Amino acid sequence: MRYAFERAVDLTHELANGMPIYPGDPTPLFERYATIEKNGVNLTKLILGSHTGTHTDAPIHFIEGGKPIDELPANSFIGEAVVLDLSKTKSLGSGILDTDLLAFDSQIVQDDIVLLYTGSSDRWGDPRTNTNYTYCTKEAADYFVSKKVRAVGIDFLSIEKFKASEPIVHKTLLKNGIYIIESLSAALKQFSGQRILLISLPIKLLNGDGAPSRSIAVPIEA
């Protein structure tokens, strides 16, 4: 087995003014603070929420006393991942059930990072999708806990149904030490049905409930 680092693919959304955000989150602002012409150096001022763009949720995001992002070991964010394609079986805006995941049961092993391509990412930038995307249900979260996976990633703003009355998916995963990667890009689609090496490193924000991440897929060759 060989990791094809020369064919690595970025699964991260660019941080930019006007980018999609979860409704109600802080509006990001990126502005040139200094320029070479005026100051001898280019420097950008960043204002953004901790869950802007492609990002990782730490347990403290929803769990009282849970670990913050800076206390999660670095090796938590590097590991083999399996990419599941739910786009053909789940319509936009529907919930992923445990029964949907059972079709992939033999592909998921303990300590895997499970990445869900739902097709919602193909509509990135369409404001209508910001409140109507494919998400996980409590049953799906329980399934991931039973499989003892390391992390679950999804290709849109949240793993949870928009404005869910109770953030049960987040709480179920995070209280069991399963961290969450959200807003992976549509580049994930090309790895559907495959195993990859995922390198997804969040910013080391002190006591952070989450942080933007650079998520990279590295193909695996036999």
Average pLDDT on 190-206 reads 98
Q: pLDDT for 29-58, tens place per residue? A: 999 999 999 999 999 999 999 999 999 999
The structural domains of the chain, with segments of one domain joined by +, span 2-13+51-221
How crowded is residue 78: how many other Cβ atoms within 10 Å of its Cβ? 15
pLDDT reading at 99 higher than 90: yes
CA 133/CA 215 separation, integer angstroms: 21
In the chain, the percentage of residues whose pLDDT exceeds 70 is 100
Strands 179-182 and 43-47: unpaired
- What's the whole-number average pLDDT of the chain? 97
Helix or strand or coil: residue 42?
coil
Whole-prediction pTM: 0.96
pLDDT reading at 222 higher than 80: no
Strands 78-85 and 113-117: parallel
Average pLDDT on 193-222 reads 97
Residue 1's pLDDT is 85
Alpha helix stretches (DSSP H) within the chain:
36-39, 98-101, 138-147, 168-175
How crowded is residue 170: how many other Cβ atoms within 10 Å of its Cβ? 22
Contact 72, 210 (CB under 8 A): no
Architecture of domain 2-13+51-221: 3-Layer(bba) Sandwich (3.50)
As given in the structure block, the two tokens for residue 74 are 């670095």
State which H helix or E strand residue 80 sits in: strand 78-85
pLDDT reading at 203 higher than 80: yes
